[in-house]
Amino acid sequence: MVATAQKIIISGYYGFRNSGDEAVLQSILNALQKQSQAAGITIEPIVLSIDPEWTTATYGVKSVHRMKLGEVRRAISESDGLISGGGSLLQDVTSSKTVPYYLGIVKLAQWLGKPTFIYAQGIGPVNRKLFHPLIKSVFRKCAYVSVRDEKSRLLLQSMGLDESKIEVVPDPVMGLELPGAPGTLALDPQSPNHSASGLKTVGVSVRYWEESRRELDAIAEGLVQACGTTPLHLRFLPFHHPLDNEASRYVMQKLEKKIAALGGAVSLCEDALHPQQMLREVAECGALIGMRLHSLIYAAGRRVPLMGISYDPKIDHFLERIRCTPVGSTQTLEGNMVAAEILHLLQEEEAWKREREPLIAALVEAAEAPARQITEYFRRKG
């Protein structure tokens, strides 16, 4: 047994109020706590965050400002190891600075002689080839590497990383559970969900992507068509504040009056800042249409029938794992496709769940594999 607490730094896109990334952090913290207890060791997480005070208040863990490199270096030097992940940290689409930052944090830990672990990351796209040997060099020195899909494994292999060093695991958020605090009524994911008005609730997670907003226009059109057949409660769920709030309002403005005239209802969830609050919101839906990856993962984990809109390969990769296909891409989406799929999901809800239950249950079980590997490393070390 390891007698003293093992201080582990957790590096990722944390503190930005992005519900998906915050859900990754919550899932990692939960899994580490569960697996360390089972292994008979104590792990003390220290999170690198853009807002350490908020992260500490939200999760009850120590936190260090991710951009104050003196503090980061001191925290790593006093730690017993570093976890990098999960999420899409190593990609150069959003910024050319992303890969150097996250690789630099891992490399710093290695320079300081600390074991490093890659936790269920989605790798790529990495279009700048000069990053490839850097990723290979850093990952070769990691004690454990896991990625969240087969495409990420193949990309790392193409960079020269040994296949035997890479484990493919589900996204950590597949293992996220609703809070089971005393006095809290657990939601049954198998039961149909209705709003207070008695209407079936459809969750809607949108983001800005196409400059023309054509995909958002198609979603609005499709939602109106669906409500023309079956009045619905459309519950907009922003996963990244404030941009997703703005995208949600864009769609809402196009359909609110029409939905009301058809006997439906529209609402916007703006106060679910904690991942488990958003998970509860998703669990209360009868179906979900999502652009954000983690809206789809939340839905799958709670066995809520879902339809994804493709704008990034990570959406397609996840949908493949649960035997789903995108309803369309942001460039090709049509309103009638959206309407038809919503109505189909609502009508075939139980069949959708039965068909995918074995796949989803296996992903939920496997989501804690990286935490098991990491805690086993420290158990052996002790």
- Please give the full DSSP string across 189-206, using - where no structure is assigned: TTS--B-TTSPEEEEEE-
Tell me, yes or no, whether 21 and 148 share the same domain: yes
Token pair recorded at residue 297: 């993962």
pLDDT band at 381 (very low <50, low <70, confident <90, very high): confident
Tell me, yes or no, whether 216 and 159 share the same domain: no
CA–CA distance, 99 with 209 (Å, rounded to integer) = 22
Token pair recorded at residue 286: 């009868």
pLDDT over threshold 90, residue 4: no
Tell me, yes or no, whether 209 and 328 share the same domain: yes
Tell me, yes or no, whether 154 and 269 share the same domain: no
Tell me, yes or no, whether 349 and 372 share the same domain: no
CATH number assigned to the domain comprising residue 309: 3.40.50.2000
pLDDT at 290: 98
In this structure, what are the phi and psi dihedrals at residue 37, rounded to the nearest 5 degrees? Answer: -65, -40
pLDDT over threshold 90, residue 229: yes
pLDDT band at 185 (very low <50, low <70, confident <90, very high): very low
pLDDT over threshold 80, residue 77: yes
Average pLDDT over every residue of 287-299: 97
Cβ atoms 88, 54 nearer than 8 A = no
- Cis bond upstream, residue 125 (ω within 30): yes
Identify which of 147, 176, 194, 118 has the alpha carbon closest to the alpha carbon of residue 295.
176
Identify which of 144, 150, 143, 142 has the alpha carbon closest to the alpha carbon of residue 168.
150
pLDDT band at 189 (very low <50, low <70, confident <90, very high): very low
pLDDT over threshold 70, residue 348: yes
Average pLDDT over every residue of 99-104: 98
Is 184 inside any structural domain?
A: no
Tell me, yes or no, whether 163 and 235 share the same domain: no
DSSP result, 158-183:
HTT--GGGEEE---GGGG------TT
Cβ atoms 99, 134 nearer than 8 A = yes
Question: H or E stretch including 336?
Answer: helix 335-347
Contacts of 56 (CB under 8 A, 6+ apart): 62, 63
pLDDT band at 21 (very low <50, low <70, confident <90, very high): very high
The mean-pLDDT minimum among 19-23, 219-223, 334-338 falls in: 19-23
Is 193 inside any structural domain?
A: no
Contacts of 16 (CB under 8 A, 6+ apart): 50, 51
pLDDT band at 86 (very low <50, low <70, confident <90, very high): confident
Is 61 inside any structural domain?
A: yes
Tell me, yes or no, whether 10 and 149 share the same domain: yes
pLDDT over threshold 90, residue 382: no
Tokens 């990351």 -> residue: 121
Is 192 inside any structural domain?
A: no
Is 207 inside any structural domain?
A: yes
Tell me, yes or no, whether 153 and 255 share the same domain: no
Q: Which three-class secondary structure state does DSSP give residue 313?
A: helix
Q: Residue 106, class by beta-carbon neighbours within 10 Å (0-12 exposed, 13-18 middle, 19+ buried)?
A: buried
Cβ atoms 93, 125 nearer than 8 A = yes
pLDDT at 187: 39
Residues of the chain with pLDDT > 70, as a percent, come to 95
pLDDT at 180: 63
pLDDT over threshold 90, residue 1: no
Identify which of 69, 33, 39 has the alpha carbon closest to the alpha carbon of residue 176.
33
Amino acid residing at 229: T
Cβ atoms 25, 15 nearer than 8 A = no
The mean-pLDDT minimum among 66-80, 189-203, 258-272 falls in: 189-203
Q: Which three-class secondary structure state does DSSP give residue 368?
A: coil
Is 190 inside any structural domain?
A: no
Contacts of 206 (CB under 8 A, 6+ apart): 216, 219, 236, 244, 247, 248, 250, 251, 291
pLDDT at 194: 57
CA–CA distance, 113 with 67 (Å, rounded to integer) = 21
Residues of the chain with pLDDT > 90, as a percent, come to 88
Tell me, yes or no, whether 291 and 153 share the same domain: no
Is 26 inside any structural domain?
A: yes
Name the residue range of residue 277's domain.
200-363
CA–CA distance, 134 with 303 (Å, rounded to integer) = 39
pLDDT over threshold 60, residue 192: no
Average pLDDT over every residue of 316-337: 96
Cβ atoms 21, 12 nearer than 8 A = yes
Tell me, yes or no, whether 161 and 281 share the same domain: no
pLDDT band at 351 (very low <50, low <70, confident <90, very high): very high
Tell me, yes or no, whether 333 and 235 share the same domain: yes
According to DSSP, residue 111 is labeled H
pLDDT at 33: 96
Is 120 inside any structural domain?
A: yes
pLDDT over threshold 60, residue 239: yes
Query: Could you give the number of structural domains in the chain?
Result: 2
Beta pairing partners, 290:
205, 308
Amino acid residing at 320: E
Mean of per-residue pLDDT scores for the chain: 93
Token pair recorded at residue 344: 């189909």
Tell me, yes or no, whether 129 and 266 share the same domain: no
Cβ atoms 242, 17 nearer than 8 A = no
Average pLDDT over every residue of 296-318: 96
pLDDT over threshold 80, residue 195: no
The mean-pLDDT minimum among 91-95, 154-158, 330-334, 368-372 falls in: 91-95
Q: Please, what sign has the CA dihedral across residues 332, 212, 122, 364?
A: negative
pLDDT over threshold 80, residue 378: yes
pLDDT over threshold 50, residue 232: yes
